[in-house]
Amino acid sequence: MKQTALQHLIEWGNEMMKEQPMKTLSFAEAIDKAEELLEMEKEQMFDYIKKNYVNGEHSLKFHKEEFEQYYKETYGGGKA
């Protein structure tokens, strides 16, 4: 089953705690991992748009480049 970027982050955190139960994850480590997952999140959003807004006779020509521009303008496009 696919996972959202946030589900992947939670699973990663749980695995880290199992592997090293005595280690406390720092906020910096969690932020680094979340930043790694931004691209996954962006792909998931684009896949949803592609799947749900391109239908038979009323195909909306929604291209990856347009989505990249929208994502950048709306969400800043990456690291804070």
What is the full per-residue pLDDT of the chain (80 aa) written as tens digits?
777 788 888 888 888 888 888 887 787 888 888 888 888 888 888 887 777 666 554 555 667 777 788 778 887 755 44
Specify the DSSP element, H or E, that contains 27.
Answer: helix 27-36
Residue 25 CA: distances (Å) to CA of 28, 32, 39: 8, 11, 22
Give pTM, 2 decimals: 0.54
DSSP 64: H
pLDDT of residue 42: 84
List for the chain the helix, strand, coil content (%; round to 5).
65, 5, 30
pLDDT at 47: 80
